[in-house]
């Protein structure tokens, strides 16, 4: 058995129980692709900067390719004593190609490595989730088209309040999902900065080129502060918040389908159940994990993977399940007609079938072009707002109050930032211990 990187203080090495308790390979092997990608980029950069010979780089890249194939064929042996995905891959690379593999860790630490891998993983996860959101949106629009002109009771406080078009309800969910997608895409833009070069916490004196690795991995730019790079997990907090909000939206949809399938209403034929509590739970796990952690990397952070994997897997399952449902659900129009006269449905609604259908066609096309989810710049955000106002959805009091609140909070953030910069300037040149794992 190999000695632990951090095992120096144990006379006899760690026990199997401790090893099992502290390993992360059983779940973080999911990051293998990103880890290998990052290593290839890092080795190429080192060679480019003269920090590694070209032949060493070639054998590293060749070795990494082999490892990737082994993993994909299911032949790779993941070892618990090698702790995590980074060490499993690096140690196997050493077994495979020998000496050159050891140079791969030049100007790198697992601290900047794991943050890089995880950002790359989340970036892909967001793209996948957004593509499932689109499918659900399209399925809901098609469901609306299939039931064109159907008038259903519109509920408020669980009571029938006004008759509404079924498509009006369904498209409300389409709209919510559009905001959900935008929320994740905003998160994607913010997480897409490269931690590599931060090393353990304070960077390196070696002449590396951080822009080269950042570009090679498709990041917008290198992260600016190395301590922030290795410790902050705001990007997963954001991703999981986005997933939790979306799960709440889907829980409304599921609840509607569930209630509508009940004996009393029987408007549609099947019930639907949700998993939204789990996504809220994953978010809370992460929030508690991150609370009060001192800079910089702390081993607690290894616990950040499972809630993220679970949240992403579950939200994809919910989106797929809802899409499937939307494609197959049927509404019992007779039951719905009979239900309409009861309650307080005193408004009448007249339906222009053709214009509604045309509207739905337009929405479907927009979704397929990606316009219903992407607000990439200020300009299109403004257009979106115009479109909403035209629909009569002018900002409400609460929206306006929140705009002001945000402005106020941001101005206080600025004050705090300035105070920190001034504090740093007042103490220029003071050298302090940089901590990792409280040491």
The site for ligand ARG (CB under 6 A) is made up of 24, 28, 84, 110-111, 114, 297, 299, 301-302
Q: How far is the CB of 284 from ligand ARG (least distance, A)?
A: 20
Q: How far is the CB of 230 from ligand ARG (least distance, A)?
A: 9
The rounded distance, in Å, linking the Cα atoms of 84 and 104 is: 17
Q: Beta 221-222 vs 193-194: how paired, if at all?
A: parallel
Question: Residue 162: enclosing H or E segment and its boundaries?
Answer: strand 159-165
Omega within 30 of 0 (cis) for the link into 296: yes
The rounded distance, in Å, linking the Cα atoms of 328 and 131 is: 20
**294 secondary structure, DSSP code:** P
The rounded distance, in Å, linking the Cα atoms of 387 and 398 is: 19
Q: How far is the CB of 195 from ligand ARG (least distance, A)?
A: 12
Q: How far is the CB of 27 from ligand ARG (least distance, A)?
A: 9
SS3 state of residue 194: strand
| CA 412 and chain centroid, separation | 28
Rg (CA), the chain: 27
Residue pair 363/179 in contact by the 8 Å Cβ criterion? no
Would you say 213 or 302 has its CB closer to ligand ARG? 302
SS3 state of residue 276: helix
Would you say 150 or 217 has its CB closer to ligand ARG? 217
Would you say 1 or 299 has its CB closer to ligand ARG? 299
Residue pair 340/161 in contact by the 8 Å Cβ criterion? no
* Side-chain half-sphere exposure of 4, counting CA atoms within 13 A: 20
Q: How far is the CB of 114 from ligand ARG (least distance, A)?
A: 4
**268 secondary structure, DSSP code:** B
Would you say 201 or 336 has its CB closer to ligand ARG? 201
Would you say 24 or 322 has its CB closer to ligand ARG? 24
Q: How far is the CB of 402 from ligand ARG (least distance, A)?
A: 36
Would you say 3 or 419 has its CB closer to ligand ARG? 3
Q: How far is the CB of 169 from ligand ARG (least distance, A)?
A: 44
Q: Is the dihedral of CA 381, 382, 385, 386 positive or negative?
A: negative
Q: How far is the CB of 311 from ligand ARG (least distance, A)?
A: 17
SS3 state of residue 160: strand
Would you say 40 or 305 has its CB closer to ligand ARG? 305
| CA 29 and chain centroid, separation | 18
Q: How far is the CB of 124 from ligand ARG (least distance, A)?
A: 18
The rounded distance, in Å, linking the Cα atoms of 364 and 276 is: 27
Instruction: Match 């030049």 to its residue by tokens.
Output: 106
| CA 50 and chain centroid, separation | 36
Would you say 45 or 301 has its CB closer to ligand ARG? 301
Would you say 81 or 84 has its CB closer to ligand ARG? 84
């Amino acid at each position: 058995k190999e000695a632990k990187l951090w095992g120096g203080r144990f006379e006899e090495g760690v026990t199997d129980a401790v090893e099992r308790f502290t390993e992360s390979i059983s779940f973080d092997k999911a990051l293998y692709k990103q880890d290998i990608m990052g290593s290839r980029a890092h080795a190429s950069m080192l060679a480019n900067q003269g920090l590694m010979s070209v032949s060493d780089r070639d054998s590293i890249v060749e070795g990494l390719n082999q490892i990737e194939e082994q993993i994909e064929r299911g032949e790779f042996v993941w070892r618990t004593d090698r702790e995590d995905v980074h060490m499993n891959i690096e140690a196997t690379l050493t077994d495979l190609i020998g000496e050159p593999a050891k140079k791969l860790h030049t100007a790198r630490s697992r601290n900047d490595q794991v943050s890089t891998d995880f950002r790359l993983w989340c970036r892909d996860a967001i793209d996948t989730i957004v593509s499932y959101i689109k499918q659900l949106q399209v399925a809901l629009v098609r469901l609306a088209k299939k039931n064109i002109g159907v008038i259903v009771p519109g509920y408020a406080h669980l009571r029938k309040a006004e008759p509404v078009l079924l498509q009006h309800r369904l498209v409300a969910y389409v709209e919510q999902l559009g905001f959900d997608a935008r929320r994740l895409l905003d998160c994607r833009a913010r997480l897409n900065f490269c931690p590599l070069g931060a090393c353990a916490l304070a960077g390196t004196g070696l002449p590396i080129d951080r822009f080269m690795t950042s570009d090679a991995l498709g990041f917008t730019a290198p992260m600016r502060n190395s301590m922030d790079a290795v410790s902050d997990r705001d990007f997963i907090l954001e991703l999981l918040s986005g997933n939790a909000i979306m799960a709440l939206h889907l829980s409304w949809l599921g609840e509607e389908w569930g209630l509508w399938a009940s004996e009393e209403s029987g408007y549609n034929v099947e019930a639907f159940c949700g998993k939204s509590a789990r996504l809220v739970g994953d978010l809370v796990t992460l929030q508690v994990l991150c609370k009060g952690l001192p800079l910089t990397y702390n081993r607690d952070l290894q616990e950040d993977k499972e809630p993220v994997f679970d949240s992403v897997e579950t939200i994809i399952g919910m989106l797929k399940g809802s899409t499937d449902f939307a494609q197959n659900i049927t509404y019992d129009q007779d039951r719905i007609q009979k239900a309409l006269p009861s309650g307080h449905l005193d408004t009448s609604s007249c339906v222009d079938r053709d214009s509604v259908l045309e509207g739905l066609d337009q929405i479907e096309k927009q979704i397929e072009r990606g316009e219903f989810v992407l607000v990439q710049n200020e300009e299109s955000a403004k257009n979106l707002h115009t479109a909403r106002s035209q629909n009569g959805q002018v900002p409400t009091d609460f929206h306006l109050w929140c705009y002001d609140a945000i402005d106020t909070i941001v101005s206080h953030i600025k004050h705090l930032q300035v105070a920190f910069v001034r504090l740093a300037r007042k103490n220029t040149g003071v050298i302090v211990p940089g901590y990792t794992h409280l040491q």
